[in-house]
Amino acid sequence: MVDPQWQPVPMDLLQTANSGPRKKRPRKMEASLASTPHDIKFQDLVLFILEKKMGTTRRTFLMELARRKGFRVENELSDSVTHIVAENNSGSDVLEWLQVQKIKASSQLELLDVSWLIECMGAGKPVEMTGKHQLVVETDYPASPEPGHQMTLPLTAKQISPYACQRRTTLNNQNQIFTDAFEVLAENCEFRENESSYLVFARAASVLKSLPFTIISMKEIQGIPCLEDKAKCIIEEIIEDGESSEVKAVLSDERYTSFKLFTSVFGVGLKTSEKWFRMGFRTLNQIKSDQSLKFTRMQKAGFLYYEDLVSCVSRAEAEAVSELVKEAVWTFLPDALVTMTGGFRRGKKIGHDVDFLITSPESTEDEDQLLHRVINLWGKEGLLLYYDLVESTFEKFKIPSRKVDALDHFQKCFLIFKLPYQRVDSGKSVQLEGKTWKAIRVDLVMCPYECHAFALLGWTGSRQFERDLRRYASHERKMILDNHALYDKTKRILLQAESEEEIFAHLGLDYIEPWERNA
């Protein structure tokens, strides 16, 4: 049954709204994707496309497309295969799959991301394999030191950068007692709109997260950047007393606890929280029962699905949503690239929402209408509890914004998705008695292919990593970076990039993997 809150997208919105016909690259798709004989042009390459995380329909489409271009593509994995192509899999994922299939991987076997194959399709021939194409075989994170044993610090204080984009910050936080305190203080400053103090605590938390050792004395923080006097005082008090009196005061402060509660509702920001606090409200029940208050559509949905939305989204739930997003997107745009971004891309096991970046290597009118069609499909299937579709205001070749936290101008949809429990692996999702689904916050972002690398970098986060990356670009390189482009102010040109690695190279930075951006 279709959810009564869902409203279909008007058909007139499904028509192209721009004033003139869009330039469209030719793309021919035959009605049937059944395999037909094709001349093999490139005898040295034998491809196998992995179905895992890709799906049968998309795999079949890519296999047929590659064969039409003259590539030899095997239906089954054999000793003759020279290249395995995968999507949304790491090198470790592919090797694990090979082990399950009881296939020994040859050292000569190339493990490649689907982006390499798509570039080959565009060029009509094999393109050079670079680092951005090759799948990484990840190693385990270093274990935390045993209690009572100090890990040796490989860096001196002078070698620790004041920029998060020059530090490798994994989820292995060895100074959580300090960083938790700073994050409470930073959040309180944000609620009070005190930007300067917010940055003091946010940067202090960020630099301590990157340290490969646990601070046990004040001597160990000498010379470490981003630690101003007020931050050092907090550290000293925690070392001596085990806690911070300032943090305790904030946690018991009525204004802080009220703002924390109010902003936990989807659609409620600082201005609304301030208004409710001044009106004397302290609980959500007081707010919901007041007949004089008018709520936005977003806030109504936030209250209606509150319990689900404030609970954490597990990795298994995020993967289940990912499969449904891909199924829907590929129904209308089979060659689309769909990437889960945000904390889950950085390796987190839990989150509060799931973000996806969508793009297509071939520019067609279908891109503009994709999110409309996905929304209509989910509405008919009863999977849509709420949506807010924001149309694109993106202008090609526009100089990036100078604002550190500037919002991008891509088409996007903020929605609440109805995830059926049966789509989640058993045992990995907490099911409430009598309930068959969970409401989950999902963001879909549609960007032009030429902006994909910049958008992927921006939507991966973390927030402090992105702030420092843009600050570094401006202060150290005389460049402006945002989710759309990178502009060199000295040369007065936009710098092109097809991957995150190329953006880092333009900035003169060592590449930082997504799982090392948890700043």
Coil, helix or strand at residue 325? helix
β 411-420/479-481 pair status: unpaired
Residue 458 has pLDDT above 80, yes or no: yes
CATH fold, domain 254-304, is DNA polymerase; domain 1 (1.10.150)
Write down the pTM of the prediction: 0.71
What confidence tier does 309 reach under pLDDT thresholds 50, 70, 90? Answer: very high
User: For position 13, what pLDDT does the model report?
Assistant: 39
- Distance between CA 158 and CA 41 in Å, rounded? 55
DSSP structure string for 174-219: S-HHHHHHHHHHHHHHHHTT-HHHHHHHHHHHHHHHT-SS---SGG
**In which residue are the tokens 């490139």 written?**
42
- Token pair belonging to 180: 């938790």
The CATH label, of 3.10.250.10, 3.40.50.10190, 3.40.50.460, 2.40.170.20, for the domain at 46-123 is 3.40.50.10190
User: For position 18, what pLDDT does the model report?
Assistant: 39
User: For position 158, what pLDDT does the model report?
Assistant: 54
As a CATH number, domain 313-516 is 3.30.460.10
Residue 193 has pLDDT above 90, yes or no: yes
What confidence tier does 406 reach under pLDDT thresholds 50, 70, 90? Answer: low
CB 88 within 8 A of CB 52: no
pLDDT in tens, 484-496: 999 999 999 999 9
What confidence tier does 139 reach under pLDDT thresholds 50, 70, 90? Answer: very low
What confidence tier does 92 reach under pLDDT thresholds 50, 70, 90? Answer: confident
User: For position 61, what pLDDT does the model report?
Assistant: 85
Asked whether the domain spanning 254-304 has the same topology as the one spanning 157-251, the reply is yes
As a CATH number, domain 157-251 is 1.10.150.110
Question: Which residues are designated catalytic?
Answer: 353, 355, 443
- Distance between CA 97 and CA 103 in Å, rounded? 9
Residue 42 has pLDDT above 60, yes or no: yes
Residue 336 has pLDDT above 90, yes or no: yes
Residue 21 has pLDDT above 70, yes or no: no
User: For position 9, what pLDDT does the model report?
Assistant: 45
Residue 107 has pLDDT above 90, yes or no: no
